[in-house]
Amino acid sequence: MADADVDRLTALAVPDWDEEFRAVPREHFIPDRAVAGHQLIDRSSDPDRWREAVYSDTTILTQVDDGAAPLTPDTTGLPTSSSTAPGLVLDFLRLLAPHPGDRVLEIGTGTGWTAGLLAARLGEDRVTTVEVDAQIASRAEDNLKRAGLAPRLVVGDGAQGHPEGAPFDRVHVTCAVAGIPAVWAEQLRPGGVMVLPWAPVQVMAHKVALTGLGGGRAVGRFYGDTSFMMLRSQRRGLPRLTGELRDSIGRVDPMRIAGADRGLEVVAAALLPGVAIDALGAPDDRVGLWDPGTGSYALAIRTGGEGPDVEESGPRSLWAELEEVYLEWLGMGSPGRDRLGLLVDRQGQHVWLDRPDNVIGGRDG
């Protein structure tokens, strides 16, 4: 292992995680064949290129379609496991901020590298990591052994946490969720911290850190954008049209909605729970919505005329509902994401404005 390779990656982790990055080399956790930046890396045929990818700030894809399809540079399969870019790993570890003696529950073992970093800092007996895919878990166990580590690795549904080991001082989630399972907050010690990627309406997620309040409650804020694969039990799938298509003219320019501050997306998650919305947070001339529960679908396209062209199917008029949410958000003063936060309790997740007791849309889960 060349020191220059390690130094290049370890430099990202200075000053708080550099010792762990050096003690747990990423190369122990990357398979001989993987995909980095839409390019196949193969340790046997091109070891220099493989090592360059391993010791770069790049996400490396290690599985598609739950292992049912081979890895290729031009794969069209659904990415289902990866080694997250080290800089993004660090973002969440710094939000997690584990202290000596903390017991950590990790949801989503993946290659095992993050569990290894946590074990190197806290000790193997302080880290429990849960992986739903038995094949991935087996490989992670082998990877950890190569690094000389053996945290507790459980094969199971991460959405259930690990009640046998609760309470935990930290809960570290490495997959995105649209709905935060209440059991995670229940398994978090009062005063403990949970970090996770929250993706309530689209692929682009929000970094979230929540603090446990006891009684199955946790509260916290947003810390920027991120992107992770979804928790397997919360994958949305692709829209499916139901019923006849309806055409109409909308009121609000889709570009106004698509280009709004991401605070609008958070408010939409509260007022249109369960509805997937694309193209939010970046200017676009069209916005699509889909409700998996009813099969309702809508697409609004900017025309420059009296209003956007709207095409819909299913029982709900989703574009009109989103227009109302947008107008309500404007009426709140167009709050940015920095003024919003999340509260999780046994009834579900709730978005709040300015303070946790000011919940948007009520608290009926």
Q: What is the pLDDT of residues 100-116, one digit of tens each?
A: 999 999 999 999 999 99
Amino acid residing at 334: S
Tens digits of residue pLDDT in 316-365? 999 999 999 999 999 999 999 999 999 999 999 999 999 999 999 865 44
- Between CA 34 and CA 53 the distance in angstroms is 10
pLDDT of residue 61: 95
Structure tokens at 285: 């001339």
* pLDDT lower than 70: segments of the chain: 1-2, 362-365
Cβ neighbours of residue 110 closer than 8 Å, sequence gap 6 or more: 62, 81, 82, 83, 84, 131, 136, 140, 174
Cβ neighbours of residue 357 closer than 8 Å, sequence gap 6 or more: none
Side-by-side strand order, sheet with 39-42: 39-42, 33-36, 60-64, 79-83
pLDDT of residue 1: 45
Q: Which of 83, 78, 80 is nearest to 59 (CA)?
A: 83
pLDDT of residue 240: 73
pLDDT of residue 43: 96
pLDDT of residue 151: 98
Q: What is the pTM of this model?
A: 0.94
pLDDT of residue 2: 54
